[in-house]
A and B are shown apart, each in its own frame.
Chain A
Amino acid sequence: KAGVTQTPRYLIKTRGQQVTLSCSPISGHRSVSWYQQTPGQGLQFLFEYFSETQRNKGNFPGRFSGRQFSNSRSEMNVSTLELGDSALYLCASMRSAGSYEQYFGPGTRLTVT
């Protein structure tokens, strides 16, 4: 069974630009969570989607947004990029909402210059 796919794997953007990251969950999984990973803060929860609805949101500014499509694929968007947004963005796939069994993708490494 194919794992979680994230695209692109690497991205370099300039301050002020916006970026869209994509995540395809494991087939049959309906819930997707997004995390930001940085050396200093570790993994921090961004948001979770289930059946195209956002169920929970972490403590991030409104510049961070996401959505989920009917096929469970998810995108997250960061507008007006700041240097501090440089991080590894991880997507986790779950069979159902609120599951502790989260399967992570390889992540998208975003560098903001």
Chain B
Amino acid sequence: QKEVEQDPGPLSVPEGAIVSLNCTYSNSAFQYFMWYRQYSRKGPELLMYTYSSGNKEDGRFTAQVDKSSKYISLFIRDSQPSDSATYLCAMKVIGTDKLIFGTGTRLQVFP
């Protein structure tokens, strides 16, 4: 079993929809939780990070962490075609160097 599980999709939604992307994890030592966005033929770019349980909002994006359920989510409001990309969750244990990534969910927002 992988430490981080993520549904690969693809997820196809109409423009303006609310998108929910999710990851589950098994290692309770994870303390930092991140979401990256990767466009085709590009490297991942950091969208959001959270340290504790709860919600964090940044514009149209909201990251949610539920440590008791070992479950994290990224919500995208008013989705746009430019949001079409692969979204990767990543996690890190404090004091260690490496990030553990989910395999990514491919999102397509159609006009």
Interface residues in chain A, defined as those with a beta carbon under 8 Å from any beta carbon in chain B: 4, 33, 35, 40-45, 48, 55-56, 58, 90, 92, 97-98, 100-107
A-B contacts counted at CB < 8 A amount to 56
Interface size class of B (residues with CB under 8 A): 20 to 34
Question: Chain A contacts of B102 at CB under 8 A?
Answer: 42
Question: Chain A contacts of B98 at CB under 8 A?
Answer: 33, 45, 48, 56, 58
B3 to chain A, nearest CB (A): 11
Provide the bound-state CA to CA distance between A107 and B34, in Å: 20
Please tell me if the beta carbons of B101 and A43 are within 8 angstroms of each other in the complex. yes
B33's nearest neighbour on chain A, judged by CB, is A100
Question: Chain A contacts of B92 at CB under 8 A?
Answer: 100
Given contacts A42-B104, A107-B43, contact A100 B99 (CB under 8 A): yes
